[in-house]
Amino acid sequence: MNTMSLRLGDIAPNFKATTTEGDIDFYEYLGTGWGVLFSHPADYTPVCTTELGRTALLKDEFARRNVKVLAVSVDPLDKHFGWRSDINETQHCSVDFPIIADESREVANLYDMIHPNASETFTVRSLFIIGPDKKVKLMITYPASTGRNFYEVLRVIDSLQLTAHYSVATPADWKQGDDVIVVPAVSTEDAIKKFEKGVNVIKPYLRYTPQPDINL
pLDDT along the chain (216 residues), means of 10: 70 97 97 95 90 97 98 93 97 97 89 61 78 96 89 97 97 97 96 95 97 83
Q: What is the pLDDT of residue 169?
A: 98
Using alpha carbons, select from 96, 113, 2, 103 the residue that is nearest to residue 56. Answer: 96
Q: Is 48 a catalytic residue?
A: yes
- DSSP characters for 48-79? HHHHHHHHHHTHHHHHHTTEEEEEEESS-HHH
Q: What is the pLDDT of residue 118?
A: 47
Q: What is the pLDDT of residue 123?
A: 58
Q: What is the pLDDT of residue 42?
A: 83
In the chain the domains, ranked by start, together with CATH numbers, are 3-147 (3.40.30.10), 166-209 (3.30.1020.10)
Report d(CA 41, CA 75) in Å as an integer: 9
Active-site residue, selected from the candidate residues 48, 69, 74, 180: 48
